[in-house]
A and B are shown apart, each in its own frame.
Chain A
Amino acid sequence: METVIIILAGVLVTVATYLILSKGVLRIILGTALLSHAAHLLLMTMGGLKRGGVPVIWEGDGIYTDALPQALILTSIVISFAVTAFLLVLAYRTYQEKNLTLMARGLKDE
């Protein structure tokens, strides 16, 4: 199971890298969102995907999945959420001010 998830994360990273290297600002932001998905999947996988109960103490039979990576992912999700929100508004403001959405030519001074 780990192998499958790792390959999936790899695909996400590939797509994200391609998007980040493109010209459109929105594509770049989509790329960063995909990157964070890949990182979260990876964190979960590195903690081990072995079968076990939900990490809630009164459920399951004494074998639980590792709770630490889940806490890390939860923290990292909100952080990347905040950064993405900021980045989207920044892109919107740049579009308003300069009416441009392309990174390559667009964001140089006209």
Chain B
Amino acid sequence: MNNILVMPMVIPLITGIILIFLRSFINLQRWISLGVMLAVAGLSAFMLKMIQTTGIIRLDFGNWQPPFGILFVGDSFAMLLVLTASVVTAICLIYAFVSIGQAREKMFFYPFVLFMVAGVNGSFLTGDLFNLYVCFEVMLLASYVLITLGGTKPQFRESIKYVVINVVSSWLFLVAIGYLYGTVGTLNMAHLSARIAEAGQPPLITVISILFLLVFGLKAGLLLYFWLPGSYSVPPTAVAALFGALLTKVGIYALFRMFTLLFYHEPQVTHTLIGVMAGITLIGGSLGAVAYKDIRQIVSYNVVIAVGFILVGLAVATPTAIEGSIYYLVHDMIVKAVLFLIAGTMVALTGTAKIDRMSGLIRNYPLLGWLFFIVMLALAGIPPLSGFIGKILVGQGAVEGGNYVLLALGLISSIFVLYSLMRIFKNCFWGETIISEEEQVSLKKSLLVPCVILTAVSIGLGLGAEGLAVYVKDAANTLMNPSVYVEAVLGE
């Protein structure tokens, strides 16, 4: 029965392999990949329920007992993220059906999306450090292909940078794993946690933990985000939306795992450092978001701000703040996807990404305009929408922990988010209509459908936060009490 835990990784992987053989049957590829993602979403929702009744579930591959074999561990935190990732991918696929174009679809677009999702889900579920590295590489290799697929000039320019940066950060990951193995002598996360707790995290392990902070900081865009705005603004819209929604979030997930499960004994060193990095990320992201006139750049810098904000929760590390971060993480995956989709649609409609060359779009495309408006409010954290509860909980946690500087930076960054998006809204949707109604490019309804669904999910998340609360509480509980995780893996 526990075998179900491997499904979120294996189903996309196998389907991806099968789709390679169905290269020329584009329609078949579309529906199979959509069906598979919906099935994975259903399965992970089922598992999320199951974890509530049976506790953390784990699957030992090949029946090797925990410290020796590779294993998958499903707790509420991982499963919430798997569920969100699958839902977002399914909806982005609907957008890709219409927008991505036959040429890319024939060159294995859908298999690579599925491989990337397999890597993402594997990273969320694994309970072994080296397996996490491998899942990261599965995800990254697929993302290298997706960022270059199509081969336009800006894509070439940015993809070399993207690949090299990720090669360097993967190298750093490998080095950190090597050091940790040399010091502690195991790679199983629960076993690592137990051994580090036994040793009381001597300075050597703290140094290794900072190495991990650098690695995942590079992957998540925490402080080391210089590569992010460029690479997220070149790929086609559907791919950019997937990147914005999934890739940095895996880095954030890994940071949460590392610094709540393994390296939690020296918070005055590590968590202070995370706090400083998160603070600078918030400032840098805010500056970037207001500095540019390119819609894609503004949206990419909004990803950076969100990373900073979520990591504020980890830096504070009170139960409330962690809960807030989890809410915000789930919200951000959904809302960033729809933000990228709407921005991409605007660029496709007007043929330019500069905000001062667009004006009065609301007359031609009212629905798109109001969707953008709702998303903007959700991102800024206006009460009935989904960003509110996360922000308020992180804020409350920061007050409890006495981190007033981070609290202030977090709140000010919300204003910058609102301002940067309001600038797009005001410049592009309000004002003189420059496209007459005869000349306007017709907006395909099928492009709007995924945006509407995602916005509805986001509104639902805001209104139905109560329903999610059980799972988030459980997830935060596991994160705050590593012994729960360790016992679930090493117990019996």
Taking a contact as CB atoms under 8 Å apart, the answer to whether B157 and A109 are in contact is yes
A76 proximity list for chain B (CB < 8 A): 133, 174
A47 to B159, CA, bound (A): 35
- Report yes or no: A75 in contact with B178, Cβ–Cβ below 8 A: no
Indicate which residue in B159, B164, B178 contacts A42 across the interface (CB closer than 8 Å).
B178
Considering the complex, which residues of chain A in the window 55-110 have a beta carbon less than 8 Å from any beta carbon of chain B?
A: 68-69, 72, 75-76, 79-80, 82-83, 86-87, 90-91, 93-94, 97-98, 103, 107-109
Given A42-B175, A87-B163, residue A47 in contact with residue B168 (CB < 8 A): no
CA gap between A75 and B177 in the complex, in Å: 13
Residues of A20-54 whose CB lies within 8 A of B: 20, 25, 28, 32, 35-36, 38-39, 42-43, 45-48
Query: Which residue of chain B has its CB nearest to the CB of A46?
Result: B182
Distance of A83 from chain B, by nearest CB (Å): 6
Docked-complex contact B134 and A32, CB < 8 angstroms: no
Are B164 and A87 closer than 8 Å at their CB atoms? yes
Instruction: Contact check, A98 vs B156: say whether CB atoms are below 8 A apart.
Output: yes
Q: Are the CB atoms of B151 and A39 closer together than 8 Å?
A: no
Q: Please tell me if B153 contacts chain A, counting CB pairs below 8 Å.
A: yes
Within 8 A of A (CB), among B136-159: 137, 141, 144-145, 148, 151, 153-154, 156-157, 159
Q: By DSSP majority rule, is chain A's interface helix, strand, loop, or mixed?
A: helix
Taking CB atoms, residues of chain A closer than 8 Å to B145 are 86
- Which listed residue (B151, B175, B181) contacts A93, Cβ 8 A? B151
Contact of A72 among B170, B177, B179 (CB under 8 A): B177
A35-B171, A42-B175, A46-B179 known; A109 and B153 CB under 8 Å? yes
Query: Is B14 on the interface with A (CB-CB < 8 A)?
Result: no
Closest to A25 in B: B160
Contact yes or no, B141 A91, CB < 8 A:
no
B160, B171, B181: which contacts A46 (Cβ < 8 A)? B181
B145, B171, B178 — which one has the most chain A CB atoms within 10 A of its CB? B178
Contact yes or no, A83 B181, CB < 8 A:
no
Residues of chain B with a CB closer than 8 A to A46's CB: 178-179, 181-182
Please determine whether A39 and B178 come into contact, CB atoms closer than 8 angstroms.
yes
A107 vs B231: C-alpha distance in the bound complex, in angstroms?
14
Query: B50 interface residue, CB < 8 Å from A?
Result: no
Contact between chains at B160 and A103 (CB < 8 Å)? yes
Asked if A107 and B171 sit within 8 Å, CB to CB, the answer is no
Q: A93-B156, A94-B156 are in contact. Are A39 and B175 (CB under 8 A)?
A: yes
Q: How far is the CA of A46 from the CA of B175 in the complex (A)?
A: 10
Given contacts A82-B141, A90-B148, whether A35 and B168 have CB atoms under 8 Å apart is yes
For A68, the chain B residues whose CB sits under 8 A away are 181, 187
Contact A39 B157 (CB under 8 A): no
Query: How far apart sit A78 and B264, CA to CA, in the bound complex (Å)?
Result: 34
Cβ–Cβ < 8 Å partners of A39 in chain B: 171, 174-175, 178
B residues within 8 A CB of A32? 164, 167-168, 171
**Which B residues lie within 8 Å of A42 (CB)?**
175, 178
Q: Which residues of B contact A93 (CB under 8 A)?
A: 151, 156
Please provide the 7 A-B residue pairs with the shortest distance between their CB atoms, ordered closest to farther. Answer: A46-B182, A43-B178, A39-B174, A46-B178, A94-B156, A32-B167, A35-B171
Known: A68-B181, A72-B130, A83-B170. 11 other contacts (CB 8 A): A20-B164, A25-B160, A39-B175, A42-B175, A45-B178, A46-B178, A46-B181, A69-B181, A83-B167, A93-B151, A108-B157
